[in-house]
Amino acid sequence: MTRIADVRLRRILDSRGNGTVEVDVLTESGGFGRAAAPSGASTGEHEAIELAPEEAIAAARERAVPRLVDEVYAGDQRSVDAALHAADGTDDFSEIGANSAVAISMAAAKAGADMLGAPLYQHLGGAFRGENFPIPLGNVVGGGEHAADATDIQEFLSAPVGAPNVTDAVFANAAVHGEIHDVLAERAIPAGKGDEGAWAPSIDDEEAFEIVAEATETVSQEVGFEIGFGLDVAAAEMFEDGEYVYRDRTRSTEEQIEYIADLVREYDLVYVEDPLDENDFEAFADLTEKVGERTLICGDDLFVTNTERLSQGIEQGSANSILIKPNQIGTLTDAFDAIELATRNGLDPVVSHRSGETEDATIAHLAVATDAPFIKTGAAGGERTAKLNELIRIAEDAL
């Protein structure tokens, strides 16, 4: 292993046209890694802190870079990430910014892989064999915080659970996305796209369920394998004064639990993310007890890739799945620790993009390296297809 020789930070555009942090890491032996931090719109209150890009870059240059250059081996990820924690000195990266921290962490991992001449997924510990690929969850209809005047539920997700390989799965989600466009056109419903490239028509949740069910069934018949679908409810964004506020009604916590459970049964949902408020571990446990044997109940805002919150959820039986977002916790090491704790306790990890994305494809390698059963990537848009195309390349590399 060779030490980090240089760390360069800059501001670049994300998919929403906002600024974000990109980092280059160079090693003494010529290894090179480049990574960029994503950014969320629907964010949990317990996430690591993202600073304005200029502020994050300045703070990282002052506090983190001196602890890394000529001090840390690029291939030793835990040492890299420990140096970032030491430079920041807080529990939530509020001093140097989780956006600068995660970009440095990922760029160092890429430099370490480049130095070894290995694919990133192998450097991170994976040995992808081609048959156990992460199933991509494709956001095909969206609303909530990702699109105005659209559905209350934030994401309707295509899930090609019967696909024989990752390439077929990727193209199935793209086909569902296209089929939904056609169904909307047939119904004379105009629709633009939301932050993640999903269609964002001005329809209610009930009609969205009809359209997604029709589209997934049509494409499933065309491709010859099962395509289910799932949801990201983003319920914390609806929760006000103890109730879940929809455009046409409100629901109590008990009513929300029953509503989601009924949807799981009616539509055979394969995945339900954040169906309840981000601090209601007990309600999550009640829902998981009702339908956890039928579907994944996934905690995103509930857990925020944080092992302390995950431990609480494990103790209370609050979910059977955790969403993994490296920028939500600040480093790859922290993300790995959350994945390890989850899998050791029977929870499935789902690696995820964010609504404000870049062309960085690190999460594709992370999902493969950790044998995650699902990966959320979206279904359309260059920053989304960057991850999907990388999954296809990884599968080909492993053959």
Say if residues 324 and 349 touch (Cβ distance below 8 Å).
yes
Say if residues 330 and 105 touch (Cβ distance below 8 Å).
yes
How big is the CA angle at 33 (ends 32 and 36), to the nearest 5 degrees?
155
Query: Which of 196, 273, 357, 390 is labelled catalytic?
Result: 196
Three-state DSSP class for residue 27:
strand
Rounded distance, CA 294 to CA 157, Å? 17
Is 71 catalytic? The answer is no
Radius of gyration of the chain (CA): 20
Is 325 catalytic? The answer is yes
How big is the CA angle at 245 (ends 243 and 251), to the nearest 5 degrees?
50
Using alpha carbons, list the distances in angstroms from residue 352 to 162, 355, 388. Answer: 20, 10, 12
**β-pair partners for 136:** 375
Using alpha carbons, list the distances in angstroms from residue 117 to 32, 92, 111, 112. Answer: 11, 33, 10, 9
Query: Which of 95, 179, 237, 325 is labelled catalytic?
Result: 325
Rounded distance, CA 382 to CA 389, Å? 10
Q: Nearest-CA neighbor of 287 among 279, 278, 17, 296?
A: 296
Q: Which residues are catalytic?
A: 196, 325
